Chain A
Amino acid sequence: MVSFYLLGAVAVVASLLVIAQRNPIYSVLLLIASFGALSGLYVLLEAPFAAVIQIIVYAGAIMVLFLFVVMLLNAPHEETEHDLRLHPLVRHGPMGFGVVLAIILVVELALVLAGSRPDRFGSAAATSVRSIGRALFTDYAFAFEATSVLILVAMVGAVVLARREPR
């Protein structure tokens, strides 16, 4: 229970800091911290496969890709200070709408937390890596193959988009 609140607090605070940072490099590093906390939450949920690929694939591959691009573009402090126009969210209409939405969300969360039945998880966790792999290559075989095509298309698309135009 304590570890849940600790990891959840780390995830929430790190995510808040991600969108509060001016320098994108700090944002990426804080997001990696948030993903580490989420991986710990997966461990608490007895989902070791999700926890491991969260670290290896997400924090290890995708975030490093982000980090590469941030350092490649080398524009860390490109920010909103010298925007002449007013930010659209600072106007009164969107601001009031956002406040109403935030209040609704807080009330809903309070209701859920106050009235949540103590529906504990079942004791048996039948989610070993073996069962995941078996399901992935039998029941979800078509989705798995379609995913490989998706990755191929994304790879080709990224190469085409980021290529320099031949002069």
Chain B
Amino acid sequence: MPPLGHYLVLSAILFAIGTAGVFIRRNVITILLSIEIMLNAVNLSFVAFGRAWGTADGQIIVFFVMTVAAAEAAVGLAIVISMFRQRESLNPDMFTALKW
């Protein structure tokens, strides 16, 4: 069984991939998917730490993170649908009505 550090490094790599996706991509749906990658990277850290300390708390936090992710996905996708109806586009650069 690999040590704890390996799991944390894998989690850091996944989180970096998600962050890069948020910055690089110009498609709202792909940005939401990148946020899901980041949430899952953090989940992996939680489970690894929970296993290292022998408690169930890590998996309970993962449960709550998944619940919040579900709520975020529902509201975020509703916003995407609403924006797509307005502008016929998924490019976040098209939505600059609130920009100074």
Contacts and interface: CB of A to CB of B under 8 A. Distances in A.
B81 A69 contact: yes
Interface in B52-78: 52-60, 62-64, 66-75, 77-78
B47 A31 contact: no
Interface residues of A, number: 81
Contact of B30 (A12, A19, A112): A19
Interface of A: 1, 4, 8, 11-12, 15-16, 18-19, 21, 24, 27-28, 31, 34-35, 38, 41-42, 44-47, 49-50, 53-54, 57-58, 61-62, 65-66, 69-70, 72-73, 75, 78-80, 83, 85, 87, 89, 98, 105, 108-109, 112-113, 116-122, 124-128, 131-132, 135-136, 140, 143, 147, 150-151, 153-155, 157-159, 161-162, 164
A18 B37 contact: yes
B78 A162 contact: yes
A25 B15 CA distance: 21
Interface of B: 1-10, 12-14, 16-18, 20-21, 23-27, 29-30, 32-34, 36-37, 40, 43-44, 47-48, 50-60, 62-64, 66-75, 77-82, 84-85, 88-91, 93
Contacts of B88: 75
Contacts of A44: 1
B5 A31 contact: no
Given A12-B13, A38-B44, A54-B43, 13 more contacts: A8-B6, A15-B37, A18-B30, A24-B29, A46-B51, A58-B69, A62-B73, A113-B6, A126-B56, A127-B59, A135-B60, A154-B74, A161-B82
B44 A73 contact: no
Nearest to B66: A57
Contacts of B36: 31, 58, 62
Contacts of B12: 105, 108-109
Contacts of B75: 154, 157-158, 161
B33 to A, nearest CB: 6
Nearest to B8: A112
Most chain-B CB neighbours within 10 Å: which of A50, A119, A155? A50
Given A50-B59, A131-B56, A116 B74 contact: no
Contact of A79 (B26, B34, B40, B53): B26
Contacts of B84: 73, 75
Contact of B18 (A15, A49, A80): A15
Contact of A62 (B16, B54, B58, B70): B70
